[in-house]
Chains A and B, each alone.
Chain A
């Protein structure tokens, strides 16, 4: 078979002609079944649902009339597999393969809505037909992330159809590099990877650096527990990231770029590679981009999965083939970065914001958000919250709006306790801080941080000392071990926390933790150590009483720390039904016959909680 030669565009006009051709071919009234095939939905079997749709449609003779589009992550992972039927925007959730014939029969053929597949608002019990009416989506502002649900990430034509590479065309044909840098400075965009450094200023200092060789890097090494926004963006809309990188490289004067992706993200690697190939085929990447004379090569580099390699200097060491360890950044990487050349490193989400800023302008962009933090931010909302998933919200939205309006509150009617923002090295904020606007500076002032954007919600059953211990033990394992305060200090903090959760805490432990925290923050070589004390300091600040209860009363108020609790049978409630007896894995429950309360042998009890979960009559209590 002869391959139809792919047309390489030599000018902006040719690209625009192609876009018009794609749009002409696409009937906007044609039914599109958009199936979320992000990693979360795939785990629920979304790929099989998509295949079944294809099969059933061709059986029904609708193969040509209806398009099945496997898209990137839609964000509402809690309810996967998700399907949106366009143009009506009908939103179905938790689909099974057996639902598909009915959808084709009723919704596709007769435009009927199938009630049982709709999302039910847990607050009002209303059924929501359209995607935009679902409360999870309603308060969001999905500027960067929205196209994830509209396009097939493996199709560059899909990206062109939604206006992709328009900004590149605009930048390369009409704007001087300096003007682009100025525009990004004016937009107020701050780095989405964690630190929040003004992106435009970073670009400017790299552009001004005296060296003919400059590099551009996209940091897609996402390692925070509970964070998956970079992954979803790279998997679901890789061209938006690449377009941002090309514009950035043009503005800075770089001809070589790298995307550093964790190897644990195989789909992100695959889609990024494919997108680079497609962009090269179309003349949007490579030599003489769109006939402008500007050249750029983008390489993919797969990371080995060390958390610290998300730190910029460690990432660059890893890219150079060395051990991924950070070094002092007293000379900015924008002057001396990769191979000691001026380098601009930005996070996936930062790059994906660039096409928007160039297309719509800095003034449009900086009208969104707060004084110090402009635009939107993608967060992963996980933990004890009803609607988990990825959300994109304007900066300045309050934590309360995120947890209650978008997140739908706390499951099982439990009480909200804390929200950790910024991943493992972020801080835990209590209920009294729920009205805090989400903004780089506000979060830092409160003892937390924006970080990568992971948000973990905790309820009354979470012990805050245990939470601090958990995050410190993660960071202890991920510390590269180069500098003493991080390697030895974080370990010692974890040990102290562990003692406290075991009921072996002593007077003075809190003060020792505080003093260690100060030294580790002040003296660590990189941000991993520098921010590691955050979970401890913030929990001491807002939940000091829990620490004191562990140390002085040897109790765990949240009843989570195993060494400090016992399970007991409330005889009056126990009819001896035996459910707990069956659930107990260690034989600690002794039956005395029917209608007689069971006995719990404390010497055999491992405090696994199986009896507590099994008992429907509240006859097991935790003390």
Chain B
């Protein structure tokens, strides 16, 4: 077991756990918008920055990525951290003012409006990359990815149209915290809509299963 302190209180953690995991387990609030236990940590939203002290030196780290170590001292609140949280959430509010996920987080952080003007109010995507991570890490497909860099970065299918790898599972829509990805079933069709592309699939009936659990026509296959 590893001994550490968070905001002055002593805690124990297992090796390999991140600061965020330990804090979550003990009900200490650290805001995040790009973390989900289903996928690996990424460190993109930077809301979860905390200050650590090691060998007398202080530095700011992303708690979702930093693994705990013996004697670590963590502070989850101070002026610099508050400035980061406020700035990041204001930047995201300006990026996607209508996103309920962002609005809820802003409210939690006591931020009601952004000092920056919104340029594309209909945009819902914060580029947290949960969708692309779940597609590659959980589904094992990488049917979508983040294309381009900087402010022109976006989620898209290869060449904005190649749906070859998509299996229409909808994991991306399920994990999306902002509602930027939509999935609709109806009339025998499933349609998934990302901010920049859309695919439709025919839904086909799965052959009903025999009592042994195998499809009825299995014997004819083998």
Which A residues fall within an 8 A CB radius of B? Answer: 306, 308, 323, 327-328, 330, 476-485, 487-489, 491-492, 512, 515-516, 518-520, 522-525
Instruction: Decide if B88 touches A485 in the complex (CB within 8 Å).
Output: yes
Find residues 62-99 in chain B having any chain A CB closer than 8 Å to their own CB: 62, 65-67, 80, 83-84, 86-88, 91-92, 94-95
Q: How far is the CA of A515 from the CA of B91 in the complex (A)?
A: 13
Residue of A nearest to B148 (CB): A481
Query: What are the residues of chain A within 8 A of B110 when measuring CB–CB?
Result: none
List 3 tightest A-B contacts by C-beta distance, closest first. A481-B153, A519-B87, A488-B91
Instruction: Decide if B46 touches A525 in the complex (CB within 8 Å).
Output: yes
Partner of A492, one of B42, B80, B91: B91
Instruction: Decide if B150 touches A487 in the complex (CB within 8 Å).
Output: yes
Partner of B84, one of A327, A476, A480, A523: A523
Instruction: Decide if A479 touches B149 in the complex (CB within 8 Å).
Output: yes
Query: What are the residues of chain A within 8 A of B197 when measuring CB–CB?
Result: none
Partner of B83, one of A327, A484, A492, A515: A515
Partner of A488, one of B80, B95, B115: B95
Interface presence of B44 (CB below 8 A): yes
**Known contacts A487-B150, A491-B151; A525 and B43 CB within 8 A of each other:** yes
Q: How far is the CA of A477 from the CA of B152 in the complex (A)?
A: 9
CB of A473, distance to nearest CB on chain B (Å): 11
CB of B33, distance to nearest CB on chain A (Å): 8
Interface presence of B11 (CB below 8 A): no
Which B residues fall within an 8 A CB radius of A? Answer: 42-46, 49, 60-62, 65-67, 80, 83-84, 86-88, 91-92, 94-95, 115-116, 126-127, 129, 146, 148-153
By CB atoms of chain A within 10 A, which of B43, B46, B95, B127 has the most? B46
Q: How far is the CA of A516 from the CA of B88 in the complex (A)?
A: 9
Query: What are the residues of chain B within 8 A of A491 when measuring CB–CB?
Result: 150-151
**Known contacts A481-B151, A487-B151, A487-B153; A327 and B43 CB within 8 A of each other:** yes
List 14 A-B pairs, Cβ < 8 Å.
A328-B66, A330-B61, A330-B67, A479-B149, A480-B149, A483-B44, A488-B94, A489-B87, A492-B94, A518-B80, A522-B49, A522-B60, A522-B83, A525-B46
Query: What are the residues of chain B within 8 A of A525 when measuring CB–CB?
Result: 43-44, 46, 62
CB of A152, distance to nearest CB on chain B (Å): 39
Partner of A479, one of B44, B126, B150: B150
Query: What are the residues of chain A within 8 A of B149 when measuring CB–CB?
Result: 306, 308, 478-481
Q: How far is the CA of A328 from the CA of B45 in the complex (A)?
A: 13
Query: What are the residues of chain B within 8 A of A328 when measuring CB–CB?
Result: 43, 61-62, 65-66
Residue of A nearest to B88 (CB): A484
CB of A452, distance to nearest CB on chain B (Å): 20
Partner of B150, one of A478, A485, A519, A520: A478
Q: How far is the CA of A482 from the CA of B66 in the complex (A)?
A: 18
Query: What are the residues of chain A within 8 A of B94 when measuring CB–CB?
Result: 488, 492
Instruction: Decide if A483 touches B46 in the complex (CB within 8 Å).
Output: yes
Query: What are the residues of chain B within 8 A of A512 when measuring CB–CB?
Result: 115
CB of A426, distance to nearest CB on chain B (Å): 20
Q: How far is the CA of A479 from the CA of B46 in the complex (A)?
A: 15
Query: What are the residues of chain A within 8 A of B84 when measuring CB–CB?
Result: 485, 519, 522-523
Q: How far is the CA of A518 from the CA of B151 in the complex (A)?
A: 20
Instruction: Decide if B83 touches A518 in the complex (CB within 8 Å).
Output: yes
**Known contacts A477-B150, A481-B151; A523 and B88 CB within 8 A of each other:** yes
Query: What are the residues of chain A within 8 A of B146 when measuring CB–CB?
Result: 323, 481
Q: How far is the CA of A476 from the CA of B152 in the complex (A)?
A: 10
Residue of B nearest to A518 (CB): B83
CB of A354, distance to nearest CB on chain B (Å): 29
Query: What are the residues of chain A within 8 A of B127 when measuring CB–CB?
Result: 481, 484, 487
Q: How far is the CA of A337 from the CA of B67 in the complex (A)?
A: 17
Query: What are the residues of chain A within 8 A of B126 when measuring CB–CB?
Result: 484
CB of B6, distance to nearest CB on chain A (Å): 17
Q: How far is the CA of A484 from the CA of B92 in the complex (A)?
A: 8
